Chain A
Amino acid sequence: MAKVSPMEIYRLLPGTNCKECGEVSCMAFASALIERKRTIEDCHPLLDEKYRDKRKKLEAILTPPVKEIVIGSGSKAVKIGGEEVMYRHELTYFNPTALFFDVHDEMSSDEISERITRIDHFIITRIGQDLRLNGVAIRSRSGDPTKFGEVVLSVMERTDLPLAICALDPELLEIALEIAVDRRPLIYAATRDNWEKVGKLALDHKCPLVASSPGDMQGLLDLSQDLLDMGLSELVLDIGSYPLGDRYGQMLENLAALRRMAIERNLNLVGFPLIGVPMVAWQIEKDDVKASMMEATLAATQMLRYCDILILHSLETWSILPILTLRQNIYTDPRVPIQVDPGVYTIGNPDEESPVLMTTNFALTYYTVAADLEASKVDCHLIVVDTEGLAVEPAMAGGKLTASLVKDVIVSSKVKDLVKHRKIIIPGMAARISGEIEEATGWEVMVGPLDSSRIGGYLDQNWTVS
């Protein structure tokens, strides 16, 4: 769909420009559909029976080549897949890889409590975004249906995160599904051996289903076809996960091939999200640190090779942090850097004698600086210049941080009403334009340190109001 033009979409819309969708015209709505800022449902007139055929066509055009699948219910439900391009530069990636963490039915209830609390409450705030974990994968280790049912129940009592229910025995899956069906869990997995029964379970319970064919691409195509023929439409594909070694290499190549077949060859059989299980690292690595490292390594490469959902084990912050960061980076829309609004921000409890500092509106820059200021317990006013989302250094190099922009924000933010002095501290990297800023604004410019982590010490030495 990345390749359709707004005109093609426009032709299928009512064309009345009634604005009910919230866009100024049908043409604007067409563009919004392409950028996925709107969905077909937003155009109410289109629901009219007379537009049935057009609507159908639209749906077909707008369905991404990798189907979007929802796991879970309620506000924490997670969407995976829905991708339209192989490479970020062709548009953007849409749904960040969902990270599920495992528990099993032989863990003590304390252990389960502890893990669930950790998974549920885990949060890291990076550049203004809350990075979280997305779900719990419950696996049957014992093979005992009663135990499995119990653990599913106990997880459901403790969290409303989405679930994956993991076992190969249809009997086990059935028990778990009876309990968890309202949560719309992901079922793991249909295989060559069990697909008829497990496929029927998925059909009866209307839940998304993993089709698993480790290391065997033909097997995966056949399995997918059989499941689709049964009437299933929400699959997640599993080509197996392998720790280092030749099969790991093949796995990466297979993942890339699957995504290319879906996106560039429009092969519906494989137009589904892909799953990886980095926790296989724990099968061969017994040492906790080494296993966590290997797991993170696998997770990163699988995420970079199109996996839309991963099942992990290690809950160590040091091993999760880089994975969450990578996900945040890769799923950032390349068309728009993450930005904060220009203007004046309050750090701590500043008063009219507190310093005024200046930085740019690139989110990474703003939050780095804000975190440094908070860490050194500085009370101040921080003014943010609109550099179109560029960091200080690139903005300086690209001429996007200028004295007149600084002046604009000083005026528009009315920072002069907040303080009685007229001094502004600029980043060390912006030293080159300090004279120009003084001239343009009439404020006294102080050049701060190069790195914002040193602002605390700098202020202790240099800041006086008089």
Chain B
Amino acid sequence: MRLEDLISSLVDAEELELDNVEIDVDELILELKQSPPMFIPRAKKVLKEKERIKFEHPIKEYKGSIAEVQIGATRSEGGTREKVVKIGGQTTLYQYEGGHKNRPVVSYDVFDLEMPSFAKALREVWQDYWSSPAEWAKEAVKRGADMITIHLISTDPKIKDTSPREAAKTVEEVLQAVKVPLVIGGSGNPEKDPLVFEKAAEVAEGEMCLIASANLDLDYKRVVEAANKYGHNVLSWTSMDINDQKTLNKLLLECGLPKERMVMDPTTGALGYGIEYTFTLIERMKDSALKGDEDLQNPISCGVTNAWAAREAWMNEPRWGPREYRGPLWETITALTVLSAGADVMMMLHPTAVNIVKNVISSKSGEVDSPEFKYEDWLKI
């Protein structure tokens, strides 16, 4: 406030009270125009600095927390991995609330079969590696894999009916080829999967893999027993139903699976094909878990690769623009949606999508500096 203003405001004041005001002058002469009898009146007009609301991050208290799960074991831990992955462990919903110690990770999908049904953009990247899951996995690590998921789909009786023993050999080969942690995926055949997992778990003893998956349609007890016997984690997979997820989680824990060995997969609908269900389901699961629902306090894994089932990702449709860009972007945005909701693991396929998603993850963790950049310059681009 200028001094003139102060003085002029005194003109019709009966009283004056100065509150919270610093007067910084060498000499202050108050010339009051009123003629005698002169007195200093009491305050009526209150002159105040504007009260400002102080910004504070809106932080909440949470009753629950998410279990921390380690995938992969180093030599000293009984495995042979050079890198291990830790996921989950959140104690708050948002990072700014201080409770996020682990960052989300990307696992590349590798199949034990040729995949002629792949979209063109995927075929172009991966078809040279179809003959060898080990080579495929190595290439995936070069392209940024935090983990590898080896899908043993050839074991499906309707596909090749590969024996559990042979499938286990594939797992061994991949374990030797790469030093990142492994996810062991079945074919989805509920009769065969437990047999395959048993053998695979055995050859991977001590490596702390993630067995994908136990679900309500198969003998999950056997899966848990194999995991416990050979020291692995288990993926608890349900089909977009929070109550099913709670039920299965409970059942797996009752079978003796330690809580910090369980990851959940609520099923990922692709962008345009049910992603809103997955998005909201993950948000609900995280919310309930942090509010204290003990049946949902585990990290979440998402099959982002489902994005490639969407027509918009693979179809040659000139009206939609070139599919070589469209496909990877479809996978990217599917991943970012589940990531935003709170996914901890994203299973993915296209290197362009993986690059962007990993960049987003390290940006969120504050690990990479933003480029030199003045925001308001967008007006001048």
A residues sitting closer than 8 Å to B (CB atoms) are 87-89, 104, 126, 139-141, 166-168, 191, 212, 214-215, 217-218, 220-222, 225, 229, 240-250, 252-253, 256-257, 260-261, 264-265, 267, 269, 277, 279-280, 282-284, 289, 292-294, 296-297, 300-301, 304-305, 311, 313, 316-319, 321-323, 325-326, 328-330, 332, 334, 364, 397
Q: Mark B28-47, 1 if CB is under 8 A from A, else 0.
A: 00000000000000000000
Interface CB pairs A-B, < 8 A, 7: A88-B276, A104-B381, A245-B363, A246-B366, A253-B95, A316-B325, A322-B330
Assuming the A-B contacts A168-B379, A221-B52, are A245 and B340 also in contact, with contact meaning beta carbons closer than 8 angstroms in the complex?
no
CB atoms of B329 and A322 under 8 A apart: yes
A-B pairs with the 4 shortest C-beta distances?
A: A245-B370, A318-B321, A247-B370, A304-B340
CB atoms of B336 and A265 under 8 A apart: no
CB-defined contacts of A191 to chain B, threshold 8 Å? 376
CB-defined contacts of A292 to chain B, threshold 8 Å? 325
CB atoms of A257 and B375 under 8 A apart: no
CB atoms of A245 and B279 under 8 A apart: no
In angstroms, Cα B328 to Cα A319, docked, is 11
Q: Mark B348-380, 1 if CB is under 8 A from A, else 0.
A: 000010001001100111111111010111111
CB-defined contacts of A242 to chain B, threshold 8 Å? 370, 373, 375
In angstroms, Cα B356 to Cα A191, docked, is 32
Is B225 an interface residue, CB under 8 A from the partner?
Answer: no
In angstroms, Cα B374 to Cα A168, docked, is 14
CB-defined contacts of A334 to chain B, threshold 8 Å? 276, 280
CB-defined contacts of A141 to chain B, threshold 8 Å? 379-381
CB atoms of A217 and B55 under 8 A apart: yes
CB atoms of A257 and B57 under 8 A apart: yes
Q: Mark B281-295, 1 if CB is under 8 A from A, else 0.
A: 001100100000000
Assuming the A-B contacts A218-B54, A244-B363, are A89 and B329 also in contact, with contact meaning beta carbons closer than 8 angstroms in the complex?
no
Assuming the A-B contacts A217-B55, A248-B363, A329-B276, are A319 and B329 also in contact, with contact meaning beta carbons closer than 8 angstroms in the complex?
yes
Stretch at the interface among B65-73, B205-213, B267-275: B267-275
CB atoms of A245 and B272 under 8 A apart: no
Assuming the A-B contacts A257-B57, A322-B333, A325-B271, are A243 and B370 also in contact, with contact meaning beta carbons closer than 8 angstroms in the complex?
yes
Dominant SS among interface residues on chain A: helix
CB atoms of A321 and B336 under 8 A apart: no
Give B117 Cβ to nearest chain A Cβ, in Å: 12
CB-defined contacts of A364 to chain B, threshold 8 Å? 273
CB-defined contacts of A313 to chain B, threshold 8 Å? 381
In angstroms, Cα B280 to Cα A318, docked, is 25
Is B116 an interface residue, CB under 8 A from the partner?
Answer: no
Is B312 an interface residue, CB under 8 A from the partner?
Answer: yes
Dominant SS among interface residues on chain B: helix
Interface residue tally of chain B, by bracket? 35 or more
CB-defined contacts of A296 to chain B, threshold 8 Å? 329, 332-333
In angstroms, Cα B352 to Cα A282, docked, is 19
CB-defined contacts of A250 to chain B, threshold 8 Å? 366
Q: Mark B171-187, 1 if CB is under 8 A from A, else 0.
A: 00000000000000000
Q: Which of B280, B336, B363, B381 contacts A88 (CB 8 A)?
A: B280
Is B53 an interface residue, CB under 8 A from the partner?
Answer: yes
Q: Across the two chains, which residue of chain A brings its CB closest to B379? A: A139
Q: Across the two chains, which residue of chain B brings its CB closest to A282? A: B381
CB atoms of B320 and A244 under 8 A apart: no
In angstroms, Cα B52 to Cα A292, docked, is 40
CB-defined contacts of B326 to chain A, threshold 8 Å? 318, 321-322
Q: Across the two chains, which residue of chain A brings its CB closest to B322? A: A318
In angstroms, Cα B60 to Cα A257, docked, is 11
Assuming the A-B contacts A218-B54, A245-B363, are A284 and B379 also in contact, with contact meaning beta carbons closer than 8 angstroms in the complex?
no
CB atoms of A280 and B375 under 8 A apart: yes
Is B319 an interface residue, CB under 8 A from the partner?
Answer: yes
Assuming the A-B contacts A325-B272, A329-B275, are A283 and B340 also in contact, with contact meaning beta carbons closer than 8 angstroms in the complex?
no
Is B337 an interface residue, CB under 8 A from the partner?
Answer: yes
Q: Which of A167, A243, A283, A297 contacts B336 (CB 8 A)?
A: A297
CB atoms of B96 and A257 under 8 A apart: yes
Is B239 an interface residue, CB under 8 A from the partner?
Answer: yes
CB atoms of B272 and A126 under 8 A apart: yes
In angstroms, Cα B53 to Cα A297, docked, is 33
CB atoms of A304 and B332 under 8 A apart: no
Q: Which of B58, B325, B333, B376 contacts A300 (CB 8 A)?
A: B333
Is B94 an interface residue, CB under 8 A from the partner?
Answer: yes
CB atoms of A318 and B320 under 8 A apart: yes
CB atoms of A218 and B55 under 8 A apart: yes
CB-defined contacts of A279 to chain B, threshold 8 Å? 378, 381
In angstroms, Cα B379 to Cα A260, docked, is 29
Give B58 Cβ to nearest chain A Cβ, in Å: 5
CB atoms of A265 and B58 under 8 A apart: yes
CB-defined contacts of A317 to chain B, threshold 8 Å? 319-321
Q: Which of B95, B279, B325, B370 contacts A244 (CB 8 A)?
A: B370
